[in-house]
Amino acid sequence: MTVQVKDMVFDKVAIGPVSTRIYQGAEYGKGSPIVLYFHGGAFQSSGLQDNAVAESIARAGAIVVVADYNAPFGGVFPKPLEVGYSLFSYMANKRASGLGDRNSALLVAGEEAGANIAASVAFKARDHYADALDGQVLISPLVDPFMGSKSIREADAIGMRERWAQGWSHYLSGGGCHPYAAPCLCSRISGVAPALIFTAGDDPLRDETLGFADRLKQAGVAVRQHVSPAGTGWPSIYGGVTDKPPGWHDCITNEFGSFVRDMRRQPVPLKT
């Protein structure tokens, strides 16, 4: 499916204007899901850039809004989350952005550090705006500031261990470690929106991703998880070094499409 791309400034968001890049599958239409997407970059990247994951989701017929969430106030917690939640609240208010319609599901999504923001927005939505969020899509979420998993030891091989360590230091430099900043440390995780969670066999974030998925499931959250085999170039999603050509695009498109169809059939449980 062809994807249309355009840049737009949301100038009526409570925290101030936010620049976005919007990906629309050419066959989007009435009731197309809307996805508020947070890019990766180890909590330190800003600016609008092409995003292959967002494009893959749009190919499933979604309208994907990639937010430049670090630009307004920087990348230190809680500012990125404040921007993300403000954007979510704006888009949930009868689709004030002009995207989609009242039949459109609203989801949050992201990769790596952006998946951290998406998960945290989902927590905050549960606490303050529970009925507005229909789902969350977390792609290799960076959720453990202690970087203590077994698989994270593989991060040196793809050139990401130091970058992630620096990213966490930057993100938490405001002091303290609030559960919204590190979702894996949150003690109250029940009641959040259904989740689609991705990782891969050669993803150094694999263990913390699957660990977070297990905690969600144990708390009664509907979770659909997908582990791509090693060799699909998965680390390229968040800038890791890999000698394999990216082969994950269709997987994300297909799994997202299936996830949305399952959501629409609820209360039938999602696959776990």
* Domain boundary assignment for the chain: 3-265
Residue with tokens 């888009």: 91
10 Å CB burial of residue 179 (0-12, 13-18, 19+) is middle
Q: At what angle do helices 79-92 and 113-128 cross, to 10 degrees?
A: 60
Euclidean distance between CA atoms 241 and 24, whole angstroms: 29
- 141 pLDDT more than 50: yes
Which CATH superfamily groups domain 3-265? Alpha/Beta hydrolase fold, catalytic domain (3.40.50.1820)
- 204 pLDDT more than 90: yes
Residue 143's region, left for phi above 0, alpha for psi from -120 to 50, else beta, is: alpha
Q: Is the pTM of this model over 0.85?
A: yes
Tokens of 145: 């500031």
Euclidean distance between CA atoms 209 and 214, whole angstroms: 9
What's the pLDDT at 226?
Answer: 98
Model confidence band, residue 1 (pLDDT cutoffs 50, 70, 90) = confident
Model confidence band, residue 209 (pLDDT cutoffs 50, 70, 90) = very high
pLDDT average, residue stretch 221-237: 97
Model confidence band, residue 267 (pLDDT cutoffs 50, 70, 90) = low
**What tens digit of pLDDT does each residue of 41-87 get?**
999 999 999 999 999 999 999 999 999 999 999 999 999 999 999 99
What's the pLDDT at 2?
Answer: 87
Q: Do 225 and 213 contact (CB within 8 A), yes or no?
A: yes
Residue with tokens 């130091």: 162
What's the pLDDT at 102?
Answer: 81
Q: CA-CA distances (angstroms) from residue 80 to 87, 90, 108, 168, 268?
A: 11, 15, 14, 13, 34
pLDDT average, residue stretch 1-26: 92
pLDDT average, residue stretch 96-108: 85
Q: Tell me which amino acid residue 185 is.
A: L
